[in-house]
Amino acid sequence: MTSLKANCYVPCIMFGDFNEVTSNAEKEGGAHRSERLMDSLKASIDNCRLRDLDFTGSIFTWERGTSIATYVRKRLDRFLADDGWCALFPDFMVRNFPIDQSYHAPIMASQKKKNDDRPNESSFKFEPLWLSKDKCGEIVLDGWNGGNNLSISQKIGRCGEFLASWVAVEFGSTKKIEKQLRVLKQRQMDGATLERCQSLSIELNDLRRLEESYWFVRARAKRAT
């Protein structure tokens, strides 16, 4: 790390798994971490004149253990940048996503959108995955045909409402589960919370597998035509 920075003559950012915490506040569970082991990373960050970039989401980016007795989580993954990079990208945003079906959490740095820091999570969006169920077409027809005295835009809105209600039962909501998991991961972990996180992770993984299967079938059908 020090060697790379010494030979870097442009604004610099480093990120990924640094395999160490900088304080015991970045660790929960397991044995207490000695200052000597953490000093190496802190010294490297200081010598490289890097700063630890602020983030949203849980502080912990790595976890292991299936019960509260064996559960350990740490902040091993991070973004570090020098003053030159921060001056070049002053509106950066770092997000730590929930850990799901992996030991490590995905982390991402991006440029904030002007006057639109976050997308509208409540807006309706049609997902191609829904077409994997024949019932989807019936739901759209029911919504469309049931509003004879409505305008075109009102009929579209009605179809969206019908689809949203059906999808919540048929598929569940990936975004809703991700949000629940994100909130739980930021709490103090106990047995009940850990069990709930594991249940949500399994549910989320099942939805993603279903979506992956759908796109696999679509790709094969497209190649066959």
Per-residue confidence (pLDDT) for residue 166, from 0 to 100:
86
Per-residue confidence (pLDDT) for residue 122, from 0 to 100:
55
Residue 69 in domain = yes
Per-residue confidence (pLDDT) for residue 148, from 0 to 100:
77
For residues 103 and 9, membership in a common domain is answered with yes
For residues 99 and 138, membership in a common domain is answered with no
**Which ranges of the chain have pLDDT less than 50?**
none
Residue 120 in domain = no
For residues 63 and 155, membership in a common domain is answered with no
pTM summary value: 0.68
Per-residue confidence (pLDDT) for residue 172, from 0 to 100:
65
For residues 178 and 203, membership in a common domain is answered with yes
Domain count, the chain: 2
Q: Which amino acid is at 113?
A: K
- Residue-range definition of the domain harbouring residue 68: 2-111
For residues 146 and 211, membership in a common domain is answered with yes
Q: To 10 degrees, the CA torsion angle through 88, 91, 97, 103?
A: 20
From 20, 28, 18, 101, select the one nearest 70 (Cα to Cα): 28
Per-residue confidence (pLDDT) for residue 58, from 0 to 100:
92
